[in-house]
Structure 1
Amino acid sequence: MWRSSDERIDEKIKIQLLFPIISKFSQIWRLIFYTTTMKHIFVLFSLLAFLQACQTPESTTKVNYYYDLEQKVNEQIKLLKSSPVMFQKATFAEGRTEMRDINDISWEKELAFFLHANINKSALRGLYKETQMTSGDTLFKTYEATNPNLKVEKLIIGVSKSTQEFWSVQAKISSDNYLYSTQKELKMYCSNNKLQSYYIKGRQKMIFSDPEYFEIKAKRK
Structure 2
Amino acid sequence: MSAILRYSFRLIRLLWVLPALMFSCQSHEQTTTQHKTFFDLKQYIASEANRLTREHPNVTKTVTLDGQIEEKNVDAVDWTTELAPFTSCNINEPALWDKYQVDSTGTTERLTVVYQSLKADLKVQEIRVHFENDRCVGVQIKARTESRLYGIVSDRSYDPDKGYELEGQQDVTGLPSTKYAVKTRYRD
TM-score interval w.r.t. the shorter chain? 0.7 to 0.9
**Number of the residue aligned with 1:75:** 47
CA distance in 2, matches of 1:146, 1:98: 38
1:49-73 deviation digits (Å, cap 9, x = unpaired) = xxxxxxxxxxxxxx66211111111
Deviation at 1:80, TM superposition (A): 1.9
Contact 1:64/1:120 (CA < 8 Å) preserved in 2?
no
Give the number of equivalent residue pairs: 153
Aligned CA RMSD, in angstroms, stands at 1.6
CA distance in 2, matches of 1:92, 1:150: 27
Deviation at 1:206, TM superposition (A): 1.4
**Number of the residue aligned with 1:198:** 164
**Number of the residue aligned with 2:16:** none
1:76-115 deviation digits (Å, cap 9, x = unpaired) = 1112223311111111113311111123122222111111
CA distance in 1, matches of 2:172, 2:107: 41
CA distance in 2, matches of 1:218, 1:64: 33
CA distance in 2, matches of 1:158, 1:220: 20
Deviation at 1:159, TM superposition (A): 1.2
> Is 1:101–2:73 an aligned residue pair?
yes
Deviation at 1:136, TM superposition (A): 8.3
CA distance in 2, matches of 1:109, 1:207: 29
**Number of the residue aligned with 2:98:** 126
CA distance in 2, matches of 1:87, 1:215: 16
CA distance in 2, matches of 1:103, 1:112: 19
Contact 2:60/2:186 (CA < 8 Å) preserved in 1?
yes
**Number of the residue aligned with 1:154:** 126
**Number of the residue aligned with 1:188:** 158
Deviates more, 1:165-174 or 1:110-119: 110-119
CA distance in 1, matches of 2:50, 2:111: 25
**Structure with bigger RCO (C-alpha 8 Å, 6+ apart):** 2
Within-5 A mapping of 1:56-95 = 65-95=37-67
**Number of the residue aligned with 1:32:** none
Q: Flag structure 2 segments of 5+ consecutive residues without an equivalent.
A: 1-34
Q: Flag structure 1 segments of 5+ consecutive residues without an equivalent.
A: 1-62
Contact 2:138/2:158 (CA < 8 Å) preserved in 1?
yes
**Number of the residue aligned with 2:9:** none
Contact 2:141/2:155 (CA < 8 Å) preserved in 1?
yes
> Is 1:177–2:147 an aligned residue pair?
yes
Within-5 A mapping of 1:17-36 = none
- Please report the TM-score for the alignment, with normalisation by the length of structure 1: 0.65
Deviation at 1:190, TM superposition (A): 2.0
> Is 1:220–2:186 an aligned residue pair?
yes
Task: Please tell me the residue identity of whatever aligns with 1:206.
Answer: V
Task: Judging by fraction of residues, say which structure has more strand.
Answer: 2
Q: Secondary structure at the match of 1:213?
A: strand
